[in-house]
Structure 1
Amino acid sequence: MGRKILNQNLNNAKSSKKDEFYTQLSDIEKEVRHYKPYFKDKVVLCNCDDPRISNFFHYFSYNFEQLGLKKLIATCYKNKNAELFTDNQCEEAIYLEYTGDKNGDNIPNPEEIGVISLKGDGDFRSQECIELLKQADIIVTNPPFSLFREYITQLMKYNKSFLILGHQNAIIYKEVFKFIKDNKIWLGINNGGTKWFEVKDHYDITTESRKKIENGKKYFSMGSVVWYTNMETAKRHEDLILYKRYSEKEYPKYDNYDAIDVSKVSDIPVDYEGIMGVPITFLDKYNPDQFEIVGSNRGIDQDPNGIYGRGSYLNGKETFKRLFIRNKKVQKNEN
């Protein structure tokens, strides 16, 4: 029964087109360049991609030799195009394999790309797609946001390195937060600002400011979309510069948590030893050498005291989502 429900959810998402967001090449280039040493002699899997318009497949196939890849694999859900550079429709799921340039022109030509039929529908949870996952060293893609919990759980189960896009709110999903708290998942580099994703022409966007047409293609803007990874970067170990000092008046304590509220990441006090509640945007500045993440205000399983459920309150009013942190490098006031 559980499997049927999962499949129904995936099909509903597919039919409503809610998960069909295609990442721009510029966003991929800006992020992947920070991880280039990791890719040498590795098998890369893009397992949530339509190869007709997948900029992930485009990026890694055209940069195959520069990155020193061993193999590139891309899977797509059924009813996608089995012929990479044509408009012929196909009702079967496929996966593509590319092992590098063969004719010396440094271009991934169609005859150099293997197109292999899948027996199933290309669902990343299917056994044949899991077998492809096992072959891979690094997973890079934009998975369906509606299935992010299952997707990240699978990557962690099979101990894969990854660089994937997801909504910022996933930080406090119980399936994700436990790995963040234990320093097994963190955010990538380019997480600020609004990202524009290509969508199909029939995708309904009701807010004019969130859509645009460029070169005949339709784009949808999404704020709060971030990169999740488990590959180290230098940025992750840069200290956050703190300048404010604690005062009871400026930093009130929660009604139901033994912690102070810090409404802006830039206002984290340099001299406070206790637990602080900060916005989830803090994770973009998080240095595990400088701070410890001890919990969040989204569920008893994330409460450092194991007491409270959902929400933290100030004077009876619920605050926004918060991470609970502790400063490892408290600077005492010498006065």
Structure 2
Amino acid sequence: MSTQSIFHKALQNAKKYINDEFYTSLETIQAELEKYKDVFKDKIIYCNCDNAYKSNFFSYFIQNFNKLKIKKLIATSLSDSALCGLFESYSFKIEIVKVKGDIDYNNKALMVESLLKCKENTKEIIKSDHDYRAGDFRSKECVQLLKQSDIIISNPPFSLFREYFDLLIKFKKDFLIIGNMNAFSNKNIIPHFIKNEVFISSLKNDKFLQPNGKEVSLNFCVWFCNIKINRVFKDLKTTTLYYKNPSFYPFYSNFKNCINVNSVNDIPLDYEGLMGVPVSFIKYYNPNQFELLGIINENFSKDFNIKKNNKNNNNPAILLNGEEKVLYRRIIIKNKRPLKCDY
């Protein structure tokens, strides 16, 4: 590959990270990780998209390192340089195995420097490889660190979430990560939800900080997790019933066996058949109450005999005033214990 080609590839790769950096608040991290406090004992935790000098994930684990009895904490982050290949970039790997002494948790830079005074803790340079910038979670060095770790916890780049998820699945890692709620409907991701191997949890706070210090609200963000704990599921309770207003739930014109539901609040608890519900349902999904079967799109069209609509795709469609209206994708669910009503 020519120098010019490598340069071009590096720049294209760098563009994927534009607007991808959103720093998670310590409040958000604490609220969720409290549920998993019993799983970190004697584990190697890897925050593979986290600059130790900036990351609240890193700060949380340092502040609770001894309490949680963590074996080792590793943090790596993307190099500031956009180049790789012949144009070598470098970043740092920080490994913490001991936390002791007076540490200023309010100043991340001083906190890291205090930790590094302990000879057991290390800070080492990691370099770019032929394909990826230094510190990129896909780079050879970072993948090696991932393979030796037990649990991966981070807020990965949104634009690379599918690649990130696939990597964790490939190496069979436990994880707790933040991503766009809509990512779950990706053909590589949704099968793990159908098998109840991965679950979603809502963020307690949707406020994130960008590198320029600007606070933004991202209400589509959720936690993706496959860590095994005793989860508490709540039943979804709505007040609508199918038998009282069946015309409110038309069957899809390209999927005859499934009714359309416009919002989570409209899910009829007495309906026994297939329902197409909004993607936001995944935040309320209780596997004890509902069965998750798939999604109305190209990937599941053959399994459910979903026909193409008038726009020549497999998204759900209903007849409205005699014309076919194409809707946004819908999750296919079935109530495991529908309400029995006296008709």
Q: Structure 2 length as normaliser, TM-score?
A: 0.81
Gaps in structure 2 of 5+ consecutive residues? 82-87, 106-110, 129-133, 308-312
Q: Is the deviation greater in 232-241 or in 124-133?
A: 232-241
2:96 is aligned, of 73, 86, 98, to 98
> CA contact under 8 A between 1:174 and 1:302: conserved in structure 2?
no
Matched letter for residue 316 of structure 2: S
CA distance in 2, matches of 1:171, 1:306: 22
Q: How many pairs does the alignment contain?
A: 305
CA distance in 1, matches of 2:262, 2:11: 40
> CA contact under 8 A between 2:32 and 2:203: conserved in structure 1?
no
Q: Which residue of 2 aligns with 1:231?
A: 227
- Written as runs of structure 1 = structure 2, the 5 A alignment for 1:77-92 is 77-79=78-80, 92=90
Q: Which residue of 1 aligns with 2:13?
A: 10
Q: Which residue of 2 aligns with 1:22?
A: 23
What secondary structure, in the 3-state scheme, does the structure 1 residue paired with 2:28 have? helix
Q: Which residue of 2 aligns with 1:261?
A: 260
Q: Is the deviation greater in 303-312 or in 287-296?
A: 303-312
1:150 is aligned, of 163, 167, 175, to 163
- The alpha carbon displacement at 1:221 in A equals 2.1
- The alpha carbon displacement at 1:199 in A equals 1.2
Q: Which residue of 2 aligns with 1:246?
A: 242
What secondary structure, in the 3-state scheme, does the structure 2 residue paired with 1:111 have? coil
Q: Structure 1 length as normaliser, TM-score?
A: 0.83
> CA contact under 8 A between 1:97 and 1:114: conserved in structure 2?
yes
CA distance in 2, matches of 1:319, 1:165: 27
- The alpha carbon displacement at 1:46 in A equals 0.4
Q: Which residue of 1 aligns with 2:74?
A: 73
Deviations 1:232-286 (A, max 9, x none): 4555532222443213212111111121111121222122111001111111111
Matched letter for residue 64 of structure 1: F
> CA contact under 8 A between 2:72 and 2:96: conserved in structure 1?
yes
Percent same amino acid among aligned pairs?
Answer: 37
Q: Which residue of 1 aligns with 2:188?
A: 175
Q: Which residue of 1 aligns with 2:34?
A: 33
CA distance in 2, matches of 1:8, 1:230: 34
- The alpha carbon displacement at 1:10 in A equals 3.2
CA distance in 2, matches of 1:126, 1:91: 12
Which runs of 4 or more aligned residues in structure 1 lie more than 3 Å from their structure 2 counterparts after TM superposition? 4-10, 102-108, 232-236, 300-304, 306-310
CA 35–223 in structure 1, closer or farther in 2 if over 3 Å, else same:
same
Bigger radius of gyration: 2
CA RMSD of aligned residues (A): 2.5
CA distance in 1, matches of 2:123, 2:305: 51
CA 126–106 in structure 1, closer or farther in 2 if over 3 Å, else same:
same
